[in-house]
Amino acid sequence: MTRTWIVIGTRGSALALAQAHWVRDRLRERHPELEVRLALIKTKGDKIQDVPLAKVGGKGLFVKEIEDALLDGRVDLAVHSLKDVPAELPAGLAIDCLPEREDFRDSLVTPLGLDLESLPAAARVGTSSLRRQAQILHSRPDLTVMTLRGNLDTRLKKLAAGGFEAVVVAEAGLKRMNFNQVARRPFEPEVLLPAVGQGALGLETRRDDDWLGQKIAFLHHQPTAWCVSAERAFLVRMQGGCQVPLAALGRILGRSLKLDGLVASPDGRRFYRASMEAPLEEAETLGQRLADHLLDRGGREILAEVYKNASGQTD
């Protein structure tokens, strides 16, 4: 039977919908003969908003229910923020299509558009990420970093209500939501290294769905794929999850790929950062090499300590 439709699975947040709508609209333009519709799926991460991610299971919280729907055939395609996707996928699923990456930077949002250096001592900074927390405290140990969960618009409302002097969010989310009026200062990666895959979308399908793979192939951006391949290989080698402040960013320099990575203690006091370069075709190996380098420099001790402390907590 000839297929005439594609069902896209997505979370129901405003940002997730904006991303799914973008993919849907591109598919409709390219394949007007197909019906492309969305299926909204609520994930565990959407339901639990008052607990830090590190204590409730980490990144998989935002994708598991959608992946279950892919595996049982309720949806054909999932649109994820790649930074929310664990480095290892369930058997039978694949992310072989990566659209061109949006801005990979984090941004400091304040009512007056201040930068990090201009925040007053003890200013309250909201973030849901240990990675952001560690790097902020490394630069400004006098600040008060507080846990802030919720969708992007929810976090901005909490800032406007006076609960924080600043919040840190992904610049890609602000751009995809057209929040051009929001006063913010993007962090250059030399100051605050982004999450693995930040700013990139991952289009996940069933591995054996060759028909759909061909339909979405026009959206694939190989330079983005090289960069995030190195970053995700770094994450796998570091055995990283939300409990450990880890970051990596790949950038293309001619025919080479430069990868920056870091591992830090949550308080930012121990902080190991390094970079390496390799040919584009060796992206995955590059990620592994950089991870090994940082593990040997002190990262292994940080991971052991963090996981030991977390072992007594409920995941």
- What was the pLDDT predicted at 2? 82
Comparing 38-52, 59-73, 99-113, 232-246, the range with the smallest average pLDDT is: 38-52
- What was the pLDDT predicted at 49? 57
Q: If pLDDT is split at 50, 70 and 90, which confidence band does 11 have?
A: very high
Q: Flag whether pLDDT at 158 surpasses 80.
A: yes
Q: If pLDDT is split at 50, 70 and 90, which confidence band does 234 have?
A: very high
- What was the pLDDT predicted at 54? 54
**What's the CA gap between 268 and 163, in Å, rounded?**
23
Write a three-state SS string for the chain: CCCCEEEEEECCCHHHHHHHHHHHHHHHHHCCCCEEEEEECCCHHHHCCCCCHHHCCHHHHHCHHHHHHHHCCCCCEEEEEHHHCCCCCCCCEEEEECCCCCCCCEEEECCCCCCHHHCCCCCEEEECCHHHHHHHHHHCCCCEEEECCCCHHHHHHHHHCCCCCEEEEEHHHHHHCCCCCCCEEECCCCCCCCCCCCCCEEEEEECCCHHHHHHHHHHCCHHHHHHHHHHHHHHHHCCCCCCCCEEEEEEEECCEEEEEEEEECCCCCCEEEEEEEEEHHHHHHHHHHHHHHHHHHHHHHHHHHHHHHHCCCCC
Q: Flag whether pLDDT at 155 surpasses 70.
A: yes
Mean pLDDT to the nearest integer, 38-43: 93
Q: Flag whether pLDDT at 225 surpasses 90.
A: yes
- What was the pLDDT predicted at 306? 83
Segment 279-305, tens digit of pLDDT: 999 999 999 999 999 999 999 999 988
Q: Flag whether pLDDT at 102 surpasses 70.
A: yes
**What's the CA gap between 76 and 78, in Å, rounded?**
7
Segment 180-200, tens digit of pLDDT: 999 999 999 999 999 999 999
Q: Is 84 a catalytic residue?
A: yes
Maximum Cα–Cα distance across the chain: 65
- What was the pLDDT predicted at 44? 72
Q: Flag whether pLDDT at 59 surpasses 90.
A: no
Mean pLDDT to the nearest integer, 34-57: 74
Higher pLDDT: 18 or 59? It is 18
Q: Flag whether pLDDT at 107 surpasses 50.
A: yes
Nearest to 66 by CA among 50, 86, 51: 86
- What was the pLDDT predicted at 139? 96
- What was the pLDDT predicted at 82? 95
Q: If pLDDT is split at 50, 70 and 90, which confidence band does 311 have?
A: low
Active-site residue identified among 84, 106, 209, 260: 84
Contacts of range 145-151, beta carbons closer than 8 Å, 24 or more positions apart: 147/52, 149/49, 149/50, 149/51, 149/52, 149/53, 150/49, 151/13, 151/14, 151/15
C-alpha distances (whole Å) from 129 to each of 6, 147, 282 are 34, 8, 29
Mean pLDDT to the nearest integer, 223-245: 91
- What was the pLDDT predicted at 192? 98
- What was the pLDDT predicted at 156? 94
- The count of other CB atoms within 10 Å of the CB of residue 118 is 13
Q: Flag whether pLDDT at 51 surpasses 90.
A: no
Write a three-state SS string for 250-283: EEEECCEEEEEEEEECCCCCCEEEEEEEEEHHHH
Q: Flag whether pLDDT at 56 surpasses 70.
A: no
Q: Report residue 114 as tokens.
A: 């201040």
- What was the pLDDT predicted at 181? 94
Mean pLDDT of the chain: 92
Q: If pLDDT is split at 50, 70 and 90, which confidence band does 47 have?
A: low
Q: If pLDDT is split at 50, 70 and 90, which confidence band does 28 have?
A: very high
